[in-house]
Structure 1
Amino acid sequence: MEEKAKKIKALILDVDGVMTDGRIIYDNFGDEFKVFDVQDGFGLVLWFRAGLKSAIVTAKKSKIVARRAKACRITKVFQNARDKRAIYDKILKAFKVADEEVCFIGDDFLDIPIMKRAGLTVAVPYSREEIKSLAHYVTKTQGGRGAVREVIELILKSQGKWETITQKYFS
C-alpha cells in the first residue's frame, strides 16, 4: 500500500459513512444534522497545506456538507452525485491527475465505480463487504471517527511530507 500511497495527489471522499458515522438525524422542523470528527477536519486542513487536492462526491445534497467542505478546505464538492463515475472523470480532468494518483474512501454500493478505478481505494470498517473486497486498505478507525485522518496520515507519511507539515506543532 505504501507504494500506491506515494503516488497520491488527490483525495476523494464520500460523506455519509466516511466523513460521518452514517447516521442522519432529523428534528421536528425537518432540519438535518450530521456529526463530523475534528481530527478528520484537521487532517483535511493538513492535506490542503501539503498542496494536495481533495473532493467530496456524495449522493445526497446538504448545506451542512458544503459548510464542512469549506471549513476543511476541500477543493471541490459534488452533491446529488448519483453517477459517481461521471463525476470522477470530471475530477480527474479538473485536477489533472490519473487514476493511480487518486485515493478514494467509500463505504457503499454507489461508491463501486470509483473503487474500481482509483489507484488507492480505502473502506471504513462499517462498509459493505463488497466495498471491503475492492479496497486496498480498510481503516482501523470508523467513518466519522477519524478514518479520514488515518488515511491522510498514512499517505503524507509515505510521501515524506508528514514531518514537515506537522513540525510547527511540536516546536
Structure 2
Amino acid sequence: TDGKIVVDAQGKELKFFDVQDGFGLVLLRQAGIKTAILSARSSPAVAARAEDLKIDKICQDAYPKSDVYARLIREFGLMDEKVCFVADDLPDLAVLKRVGLAVAVSNAVAEVKKAAHYITACRGGDGAVREVVELILKAQGKWKNILARTG
C-alpha cells in the first residue's frame, strides 16, 4: 500500500490498493511463485485484498517481522537467497538484510534504501510491486510467455 491510512467518521479504516500491483501478484501466482504479506499492523482491508488476490500467506501483527519471516520461510521450504522482500520502513530492516533480493520502494526511509539491492522507480502503493514482479519474471525468462498468454 502507499502507507496511508484513511479513517472514516465511524472509525473504520480504509486503504487504497493499486490495481496494477494486484495484477502483478496474480501473475506471480500464475508463474508458480509463492507470495506473502508481512505487516506489523492488522487491517481487515489488507486481509480482504490478500484473499481476493489469493496471496499464499498473510501475516498481520507480524512483529518483530524477522521472527515471522523465519517461520514463513520454514513453512514454504525456502532458503533466504530465494526470497524477494519489498520494504519501506525500519521494521523491515532485519528481513531485508537476510533475503536474496532486497527491494526498497522509492519512498522508503533512507536506512531501508541503504540496505536494499534495488530501489524501485515507483512509490509504494503506486506500481512498485508491479515493477518488481516484472523484474523477477523477466529475469526468470517467464515474461514472454505471459505476454503471449495475455496479448
Considering the TM-score relative to the shorter chain, is it more than 0.5? yes
Segments of 5+ residues of structure 1 without an aligned counterpart are 1-19
Q: Give the aligned partner of residue 64 of structure 2.
A: 83
Q: Give the aligned partner of residue 62 of structure 1.
A: 43
> For the Cα contact (< 8 Å) 1:49–1:165, is it kept in 2?
no
- Identity fraction in percent: 50
Rounded Cα–Cα distance in structure 1 between residues aligned with 2:7 and 2:130:
27
Counterpart of 2:43 in structure 1: which amino acid?
Answer: S
The TM-score with structure 2 as length reference comes to 0.98
Q: Give the aligned partner of residue 127 of structure 2.
A: 146
Distance apart, 1:163 and its partner CA: 1.2
Q: Give the aligned partner of residue 84 of structure 2.
A: 103
Q: Please, what is the CA RMSD of the aligned residues?
A: 0.7
Rounded Cα–Cα distance in structure 1 between residues aligned with 2:7 and 2:121:
29
Which structure ranks higher in relative contact order (CA pairs < 8 Å, sequence separation ≥ 6)? Answer: 1
Aligned length in residues: 151
After TM superposition, where is structure 1 displaced by more than 3 Å over at least 4 residues in a row? none
Counterpart of 1:146 in structure 2: which amino acid?
Answer: G
Distance apart, 1:73 and its partner CA: 1.8
Show CA shifts across 1:54-85 (max 9, x none).
Answer: 11000110111111111122100000111111
Rounded Cα–Cα distance in structure 2 between residues aligned with 1:136 and 1:72:
27
> SS of the counterpart of 1:104?
strand
Rounded Cα–Cα distance in structure 1 between residues aligned with 2:14 and 2:8:
8
> SS of the counterpart of 1:53?
coil
Segments of 5+ residues of structure 2 without an aligned counterpart are none
> Aligned match of 2:30 in 49, 73, 85?
49
The TM-score with structure 1 as length reference comes to 0.86
Rounded Cα–Cα distance in structure 2 between residues aligned with 1:89 and 1:82:
12
Q: Give the aligned partner of residue 107 of structure 2.
A: 126
Rounded Cα–Cα distance in structure 1 between residues aligned with 2:149 and 2:14:
34
Q: Give the aligned partner of residue 8 of structure 1.
A: none
Show CA shifts across 1:88-129 (max 9, x none).
Answer: 111111111101000000010100110110110000111110
Aligned ranges 1:10-49 → 2 under 5 Å = 20-49=1-30
Distance apart, 1:156 and its partner CA: 0.4
Distance apart, 1:30 and its partner CA: 0.4
Rounded Cα–Cα distance in structure 2 between residues aligned with 1:93 and 1:169:
34
Distance apart, 1:166 and its partner CA: 2.9
